Amino acid sequence: MAFLYSKTVLCFLSFLSRFGKMAVQQQALTSNALMKILASSLLKWLLLLMTGLLIVFWLGSAILLNHQSFLGLDKVKISTAWLKQHYQVGELQADKAYVLAGHVIVGVNEKLYVNAQPLLNLPRPLVGAVALEDLLVLATDDALILLNKEGEYLDTLGAAAGIPPQIQNIGVHYSEPVLQTYTGMWRGNFLLDQWELMSLQGVSWSQPETMSSASRKAMEVQLYGDGIPINRVLTDLHTGQLFNGIARFFIDVWLLLLIVIAFHGMFGLAGKFQRR
């Protein structure tokens, strides 16, 4: 009798063990299925949200373009590295300038700029610049360009005016100009019309300075503009011109998707009215 009782208990415990394992497996399956459903629903709502935001942006930008003159979109500029590269808008390559008497002087693209304003053509690059008592003297390898203290152009002196050739730098020695050339060191007088070949010690040679961010920005605006008008960017976006190559086909796919969504909405509304 005891044997039968113990056998029954063992069978019952075995049944409970199997039932427990089945319950745990069923619960795990239920949890996995629930997670899959939640993940699928979340993905669906994210896609719907992204699509809705894109549609709002697309239609909203179209409305802006329709009133671009009234809104002054051509005056709103945007500037990013990618847009500059796409529209072939360059960046200032030179980052050195001469600062004399509060004026920022730089030569870029064969032009001389003073405080980011073009002053004159500069066929030869600057090799130095110094401030004398009443003059700003800029040196190229074959001439001296004279400006007044207000940064206004006065004259250019070359070989005809007795300026030594092959200039490498310009400096100041006891308020008198000194030129360093391939043939030696030349000291001039304050009128810049007499030059004497000699060796000097203690010459303060000109050195270019790194342009400040404000000066660099002003130069870039002067050379390349201050950005791309937003109406041009939006127009190119709608026509597909903002992208190159295969990226344009994504715009076509997007427009086709909008058409499908529109037809789906129209047929859905028609079906609701028919059921009523």
Count of CB atoms within 10 A of residue 73's CB? 19
pLDDT of residue 62: 81
Distance in angstroms (rounded) separating the CA atoms of residues 228 and 75 = 9
Structural domain for 188, as ranges? 96-224
213 domain residue, yes or no: yes
In a domain, 56, yes or no: no
Residue 156 pairs with which residues in a beta bridge?
Answer: 145
- Any idea which residue has 């459903």 for tokens? 37
Are residues 233 and 207 both part of a single domain? no
> pLDDT tens, 142-155?
999 999 999 999 99
- The pair of three-digit structure tokens given for residue 100, joined into one six-digit string: 């004399």
Q: Are residues 70 and 114 in the same domain?
A: no
- State the CATH number of the domain containing residue 200: 2.130.10.10
Strands 144-147 and 153-157: antiparallel
One domain, residues 139 and 169: yes
- Domain membership of residue 55 (yes or no) is no
Nearest to 157 by CA among 171, 142, 170: 142
Q: Which residue has the higher pLDDT, 157 or 39?
A: 157
Each residue of 161-214: pLDDT tens digit? 999 999 999 999 999 999 999 989 999 998 898 999 988 898 999 999 888 888
Query: Do 1 and 44 fall into the same domain?
Result: yes
Of 185, 153, 158, the closest CA to residue 169 belongs to 185
Say if residue 142 is in the same domain as residue 37: no
pLDDT higher than 70, residue 229: yes
What is the C-alpha to C-alpha distance for residues 120 and 225, in angstroms, rounded to an integer? 20
